[in-house]
Amino acid sequence: MRLFVGTLLVTMLVVAMLIDDSEGYNRGRRRRRNKRSMEDVADEELVEIMQEARSLLEELKDLDDLDDMAAERAPMESRGAGYEDNVVYRRNTEDKTMAGSADEKRRTLLQRAKVAEQAEMYEDMVKCMKELVEMGGKLSTEERNLLSVAYKNVVGSRRSAWRVVTSLDQKKADEGVDESDSARQAVKWMREKVVTDLKKLCGDVLTLIDKFVLPTVENQENEVFYNKMKGDYYRYLAEISEGSEREDMVTKAKESYEKAYAKATTSLTPTNPIRLGLALNWSVFHYEIRKDPKEACRVAKEAFDAAISDIDQLKEDSYKDSTLIMQLIRDNLTLWTSEQDQGKN
Ligand SMILES: *[C@@H]1O[C@H](CO)[C@@H](O)[C@H](O)[C@H]1NC(C)=O
Ligand SMILES: CC(=O)N[C@H]1CO[C@H](CO)[C@@H](O)[C@@H]1O
């Protein structure tokens, strides 16, 4: 910018000199006609140009000031460049507005989590909800749902990233690309990062549930909800693990789902959306993780039939959730039974 203005300034000065010069040349010829007025015009032009040059010089000085300001700001910006997990975390705890009673802090975290959800800033939403849960105490239904939505989103985006890198790796392997190939190494690098993230996030939410949430749960619906949630996150860990680690995750997922299922069938109506959501995911667990489509169909069909026979129990406030999940169960059932029929033929 400064180079440009500088060049412009030099050009204008040169032009000014040329005008002065040409006036000198013209002067001799024009003097005879109207000496006085021609000189005036030339002088006026010169004055104008000099004024413009001066104001450009001032602007140049302003630009210098701006540069100085930018230089002062630079170290601050580079400090912020290392934006990591705990930057937001620290900001949450050190914030002046957070001072005050535990109740106030809880309310602030809840409000922030809700705004973060609207802004789709799910990493921040997770941090707020994690901090809120770690304060201890029972969670309201709203807090429960926000915790679930926050982790579902951060984990969901990484599960889909995992599927992308896994299929990229498979493609390269199918093409016969060697493991030492740099493109394959890049895929491996990304995959390891995604797996590390997933293990950390799933581990975090499982710890929150075991350490803070389940010990304070009284309501049976919530007991189902959180045990199902444990089943889901152990299932996600099973998806990305291998060998004995996978076996361990599969067992833990199964135990959590079974606990939730036992509780759900004795304490919730068949059309309860939490019971239905559990049946849906418990059946997907059988299908995808245990590779047992028969059992998957049995669980799905049992849940669907029970809900149909109890359809007049649909609650006004949750019938939309219930019917949506029933549809998802039926879609999977249709898909799975047709696959099984094809397998037989
Ligand atoms: C069931 O699991 C899927 C992932 O497989 C998840 O996206 C979904 O939210 C779960 N459904 C319910 C009703 O919890
Ligand atoms: C909604 C839902 O969970 N659908 C599942 C149906 O089953 C397939 C497996 O074939 C899952 O990938 C879907 O998530």
pLDDT at 222: 98
Q: Would the pLDDT of 60 be above 70?
A: no
**Structural domain count, the chain:** 3
Instruction: Return d(Cα 86, Cα 98) in angstroms, integer.
Output: 17
**Judgement on whether residues 60 and 11 belong to the same structural domain of the protein:** yes
Ligand 2 atom nearest to 335, measured from its CA: 10
Q: Is residue 244 part of a domain?
A: yes
Instruction: Report CA(295)–ligand 2 centroid distance (Å).
Output: 15
Instruction: Return d(Cα 226, Cα 239) in angstroms, integer.
Output: 20
User: Which residue pairs, CB below 8 angstroms and at least 24 apart, start in 55-64?
Assistant: 56/5, 56/8, 56/9, 56/12, 57/9, 59/5, 60/2, 60/5, 60/6, 60/9, 63/1, 63/2, 63/5, 64/2
Q: Is residue 82 part of a domain?
A: no
Q: Which ligand is nearest to the CA of 283?
A: 2
Contact 27, 39 (CB under 8 A): yes
Pocket test of ligand 1: the residue of 226, 281, 288, 318 to mutate, having most ligand atoms within 8 Å of its CB, is: 281
Q: Could you say which of 30, 49, 77 is where a domain stops?
A: 77
Q: Is residue 72 part of a domain?
A: yes
**Judgement on whether residues 310 and 201 belong to the same structural domain of the protein:** no
Instruction: Report CA(171)–ligand 2 centroid distance (Å).
Output: 23
Give the pLDDT confidence of 313-336 residue by residue, as tens digits: 888 888 999 999 999 999 999 999
**Judgement on whether residues 183 and 255 belong to the same structural domain of the protein:** no
Ligand 1 atom nearest to 235, measured from its CA: 5
Model confidence band, residue 342 (pLDDT cutoffs 50, 70, 90): confident
Q: Would the pLDDT of 68 be above 50?
A: no
pLDDT at 205: 98
Q: Which of 220, 222, 44, 33 is nearest to 143 (CA)?
A: 222
**Judgement on whether residues 310 and 191 belong to the same structural domain of the protein:** no
Task: Tell me the backbone φ, ψ of residue 219, rounded to 5 degrees.
Answer: -70, 135
Nearest protein Cα to ligand 2, atom 6: 332
Contact 230, 206 (CB under 8 A): yes
CATH number at residue 99: 1.20.190.20
**Judgement on whether residues 73 and 146 belong to the same structural domain of the protein:** no
Mean pLDDT of 85-103: 57
Nearest protein Cα to ligand 1, atom 2: 281
Give the pLDDT confidence of 109-136 residue by residue, as tens digits: 999 999 999 999 999 999 999 999 999 9
Nearest protein Cα to ligand 2, atom 14: 284
* Eight-state DSSP code of residue 4: H
Is ligand 2 within 6 A of the CB of residue 328? yes
Task: Tell me the backbone φ, ψ of residue 331, rounded to 5 degrees.
Answer: -60, -45
Q: Is residue 83 part of a domain?
A: no
**Judgement on whether residues 249 and 290 belong to the same structural domain of the protein:** yes
Instruction: Return d(Cα 125, Cα 136) in angstroms, integer.
Output: 18
* Eight-state DSSP code of residue 138: P
**pLDDT more than 90, % of the chain:** 66
Q: Would the pLDDT of 55 be above 80?
A: no
Give the pLDDT confidence of 5-48 residue by residue, as tens digits: 444 444 444 344 444 444 444 444 444 445 455 555 555 555 55
**Judgement on whether residues 204 and 263 belong to the same structural domain of the protein:** no
Concatenated DSSP letters for 267-288? HS-TT-HHHHHHHHHHHHIIII
Q: Could you say which of 169, 194, 216 is where a domain stops?
A: 216
**Judgement on whether residues 49 and 100 belong to the same structural domain of the protein:** no
Q: Is residue 326 part of a domain?
A: yes
**Judgement on whether residues 256 and 204 belong to the same structural domain of the protein:** no
- Max alpha carbon distance in the chain (Å)? 117
Q: Is residue 84 part of a domain?
A: no
Q: Which ligand is nearest to the CA of 153?
A: 1
Angle, CA 12 vertex, CA 7 and CA 14 arms, to 5°: 95
Q: Which ligand is nearest to the CA of 279?
A: 1
Chain position carrying tokens 């021609």: 38
Instruction: Report CA(144)–ligand 1 centroid distance (Å).
Output: 15
Instruction: Return d(Cα 211, Cα 208) in angstroms, integer.
Output: 5
Instruction: Report CA(343)–ligand 1 centroid distance (Å).
Output: 27
Q: Is residue 248 part of a domain?
A: yes
Q: Could you say which of 216, 243, 259 is where a domain stops?
A: 216
**Judgement on whether residues 329 and 252 belong to the same structural domain of the protein:** yes
Nearest protein Cα to ligand 1, atom 10: 281
Instruction: Report CA(51)–ligand 1 centroid distance (Å).
Output: 72
Give the pLDDT confidence of 155-196 residue by residue, as tens digits: 999 999 999 999 999 999 999 999 999 999 999 999 999 999
**Judgement on whether residues 324 and 241 belong to the same structural domain of the protein:** yes
Q: Which residues line ligand 1 (CB under 6 A)?
A: 152, 232, 277, 280-281, 284, 325
**Judgement on whether residues 341 and 272 belong to the same structural domain of the protein:** yes
Instruction: Report CA(332)–ligand 2 centroid distance (Å).
Output: 6
Query: Which residues span the domain enclosing 72?
Result: 1-77
